[in-house]
């Protein structure tokens, strides 16, 4: 395993930050970008690796890779349209730790040869697939790191839903690899990620890392934008019943919107309301999950005499991806935060959080997400927009 793959194998969602001056689909992005300066800034912002476009169609050259290598220690991915041993040798000599192999442009025999050459040169590879057929090919080739691109390179259209389905499929296949004692490939979700919620959607589908380019290169400060996309905890506003409250939560910067579909709750909603692309919708159930258009389900157990049981499983397509730890219904627990801090895996911390205490809770628990509802209200199911803004600002500070 080389430096590139090692960097992506760490716990939590990793980020590959890209340097490109232009895009065939979007035109000029940052025509005067300095790759040395940006690579170092990405490294300091927490990038696991940096992708450098070396193809002139993206405004790149091999000198960009050399400049990035001279100024930053982070693993570098050489990105271009590579098809020969000479391409890989050039990438290695220019300072790359890994090289892109596009299955769209390579048949299986050629890709297999390039994988062997890369291994002999000490290069990792990112084998990129766009559709189910290419993903199956990448798996059959034994690619150690597989990128799943939401962008169709022929039409430049983005299909994030299809990407997430492919990521999820790959993760299920790789779980069988692990069960058989084999080392599972890593999965990178590429393109179309512009918000923390979109990155989280890829993470929960099973991606080990996201590769982000245009969203960074068009930002006033690319490194600050990267830091924001990778930052945790995510912020959830729950008990939403009104469209204007969803809009206020989104404008404040919340990542998750919760809709309680249990009629017995004082904050029950009749349906999951529409949310913008910057948010994921969470349907909250008691007993078992029903049908809804939500991205995630949060399922509490039933408990006699109470609206809900204490904790909940957070599910994606029926598979648990996180655990919500809450207070008992209308009860207190002085050890609640300590209990949450000791929990393993992705923790969503709930339980009377608000603007005044969410920062303290985050410092103690270090959760994957925080969840607030009742302390953001003027009445059950009616949010106070000033409190919502203050809560989100405190959680993201």
Question: Would you please indicate which residues are annotated as catalytic (active-site) residues?
Answer: 18, 20, 79, 128, 149, 190-191
- Per the document, the length of the chain is 397
Helix 132-140 and helix 108-121: axis angle, to 10°? 50
Cβ neighbour number for residue 158 with a 10 Å cutoff: 16
Question: Distance (Å, rounded) from C-alpha 24 to C-alpha 107?
Answer: 24
Number of CB atoms found within 10 A of residue 333's CB = 13
Beta bridge partners of 338: none
H, E, C per residue of 322-337: EEEECCCCCCCCCCHH
Q: What is the DSSP letter of 264?
A: T
Partner residues linked to 190 by β-bridges: 149, 211
Rounded CA separation 147/210 (Å) = 9
Residues 6+ apart with CB under 8 A from 126: 4, 77, 98, 99, 100, 101, 145, 146, 147, 188
Cis check for the bond before 199: say yes or no (omega within 30 of 0): no
Q: 27-28 and 22-23 as β-strands: parallel, antiparallel, unpaired?
A: antiparallel
Q: Any idea which residue has 């291994």 for tokens?
A: 119
Angle formed by the axes of helices 222-230 and 35-44, to 10°? 30
CA distance 275 to 236: 13
Which residues touch 100 (CB under 8 Å, ≥6 apart)? 51, 77, 78, 79, 80, 82, 125, 126, 128, 147
Task: Tell me the Ramachandran region of residue 77: left when phi exceeds 0, alpha when psi lies from -120 to 50, beta otherwise.
Answer: beta
């Amino acid at each position: 395993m080389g430096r590139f793959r090692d960097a992506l194998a760490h716990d939590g969602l990793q980020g590959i930050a890209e340097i490109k001056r232009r895009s065939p689909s979007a035109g000029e992005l940052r025509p005067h970008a300095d790759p040395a300066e940006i690579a170092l800034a990405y490294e300091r912002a927490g990038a696991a690796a940096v992708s450098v476009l070396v193809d002139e169609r993206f405004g790149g050259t091999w000198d960009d890779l050399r400049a990035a290598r001279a100024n930053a220690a982070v693993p570098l991915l050489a990105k271009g349209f590579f098809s020969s041993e000479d391409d890989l040798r050039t990438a290695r000599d220019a300072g790359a730790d890994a090289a892109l192999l596009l299955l769209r442009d390579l048949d299986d025999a050629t890709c297999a040869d390039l994988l062997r050459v890369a291994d002999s040169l000490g290069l990792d590879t990112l084998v990129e697939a766009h559709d189910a057929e290419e993903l199956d090919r990448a798996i059959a080739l034994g690619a150690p790191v597989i990128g799943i691109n939401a962008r169709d390179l022929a039409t430049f259209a983005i299909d994030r839903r299809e990407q997430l389905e492919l990521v999820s499929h790959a993760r299920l296949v790789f779980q069988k690899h692990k069960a058989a004692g084999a080392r599972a490939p890593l999965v990178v979700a590429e393109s179309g990620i512009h918000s923390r919620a979109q990155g989280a959607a890829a993470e929960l589908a099973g991606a080990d890392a996201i590769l982000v380019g245009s969203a960074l290169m068009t930002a006033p400060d690319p490194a600050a934008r990267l830091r924001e996309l990778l930052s945790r905890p995510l912020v959830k506003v729950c008990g939403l019943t009104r469209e204007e409250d969803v809009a206020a939560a989104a404008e404040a910067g919340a990542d998750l919107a919760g809709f309680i579909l249990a009629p017995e709750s004082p904050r029950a909603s009749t349906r999951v309301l529409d949310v913008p692309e910057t948010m994921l919708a969470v349907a909250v159930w008691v007993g078992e999950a029903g049908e809804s258009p939500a991205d995630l389900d949060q399922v509490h157990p039933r408990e006699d005499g109470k609206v809900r049981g204490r904790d909940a499983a957070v599910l994606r397509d029926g598979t648990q991806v996180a655990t919500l730890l809450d207070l008992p219904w209308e009860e207190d627990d002085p050890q609640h935060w300590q209990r949450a801090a000791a929990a393993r895996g992705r923790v969503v911390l709930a339980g009377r959080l608000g603007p005044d205490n969410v920062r303290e809770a985050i410092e103690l628990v270090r959760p994957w997400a925080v969840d607030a509802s009742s302390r953001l209200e003027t009445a059950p199911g009616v949010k106070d927009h000033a409190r919502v803004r203050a809560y989100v600002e405190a959680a993201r500070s």
